[in-house]
Structure 1
Amino acid sequence: MSIDRSIIRVKAMLITTSDDGSHHLVSVNDPTDENPSGFHRLIGGSVELGATHKDAIIREVREELGAQIIDLQHLGIIENIFRFNGEVGHEIVALYTGTLNPAPVEDGGTLTESDGTVVPVVWRPIENADPAVPLYPAGIDDWVRSLRA
């Protein structure tokens, strides 16, 4: 799927932690020019025209994971300027936290993108994560650590 990176995109993403607070859920993404080992990204997606960012995160989690979000709370906004295979991208991301029902399995979980692509999801350690596999949006690590139980 080709994505127009010439515009600033609005996203909504979720930080959801494991029951013991030691891990958080991310999607596993293929290698890029900038990230030869691939990268992790928070769960979520684009805000559609006419929808709120709250509507977007609820819809994305329902569509991608088949789950609902319990105790949904808006955390704030983060700006993400990045490169993806050499192209500059720019996102404004509304961050949320909450618990998924049902929770994804510990191993072998997946989500389904809007284009039908199946992407693995994993529980990434909050501390001591593999530095070769960065987490996006950039700068999100401090937000994730602040939610640690």
Structure 2
Amino acid sequence: MPVDRCYIRVKAMLIAPHVDRSRHLVSVNAPTTENPRGFHRLIGGSVELGETHRDAIIREVDEELGARILDLSHVGVVENIFRYNGELGHEIVALYTGRLVPDLADEGGTLTESDGSIVPVVWRPFDDADVAVPLYPAAANDWIRRIRT
């Protein structure tokens, strides 16, 4: 089912550092008109009506990865205005950081979207200047750099 992008969506997303603190977990998304090589996205999703963004990130990580979050900490809020296959999108994203339990494998991990689709996840380096695909929400990059240090 297509996503209705005619309104501003509220999201909660997690910056989940690897135990070695050199990488963080992201989903691998298919190519779009704007990103022909695809893109990476922080783990998380939409806040449901009546749900806090803190409760949303806990639920999303459980649903998508079957994991819990230790040391969950709210780090900030970013605004994400973007185009997805030519269609305008707008999100307000509450960013969190925390450790996943159980730890995900270094390779071959996946998450399950709400529609049942399976999406690969990878550990993206914090020092990502050589990574060919962009990370979204792009405004989270400043927070990601702070969390690494």
Give the share of equivalent positions with the same residue, in percent.
70
Secondary structure at 1:140 match in 2: helix
Counterpart for residue 4 of structure 1: 4
Secondary structure at 1:63 match in 2: helix
Counterpart for residue 53 of structure 2: 53
- Structure 2: unaligned runs, 5 residues or longer: none
Q: Which amino acid counterpart does residue 11 of structure 1 have in structure 2?
A: K
- Structure 1: unaligned runs, 5 residues or longer: none
Q: Does 1:109 align with 2:75?
A: no
Secondary structure at 1:60 match in 2: helix
Deviation at 1:142, TM superposition (A): 1.6
1: CA distance between counterparts of 2:131 and 2:16?
A: 20
Counterpart for residue 135 of structure 2: 135
Deviations 1:45-71 (A, max 9, x none): 000001000010000000000000001
2: CA distance between counterparts of 1:128 and 1:18?
A: 14
Counterpart for residue 82 of structure 1: 82
Counterpart for residue 146 of structure 1: 146
Question: Considering only aligned residues, what root-mean-square deviation do their CA atoms show, in Å?
Answer: 1.0
Q: Does 1:122 align with 2:131?
A: no
Q: How does 1:21-32 map to 2 (within 5 A)?
A: 21-32=21-32
Deviation at 1:132, TM superposition (A): 2.9
Deviation at 1:104, TM superposition (A): 1.1
TM-score normalized with structure 2 length? 0.97
Deviations 1:121-144 (A, max 9, x none): 000011034453000002222211
Aligned length: 149
1: CA distance between counterparts of 2:41 and 2:100?
A: 17
Q: Which amino acid counterpart does residue 26 of structure 2 have in structure 1?
A: V
Q: Which amino acid counterpart does residue 17 of structure 2 have in structure 1?
A: T
User: Larger deviation: 128-137 or 66-75?
Assistant: 128-137
Counterpart for residue 16 of structure 1: 16
2: CA distance between counterparts of 1:118 and 1:142?
A: 29
Secondary structure at 2:63 match in 1: helix
Secondary structure at 1:76 match in 2: strand
TM-score normalized with structure 1 length? 0.97
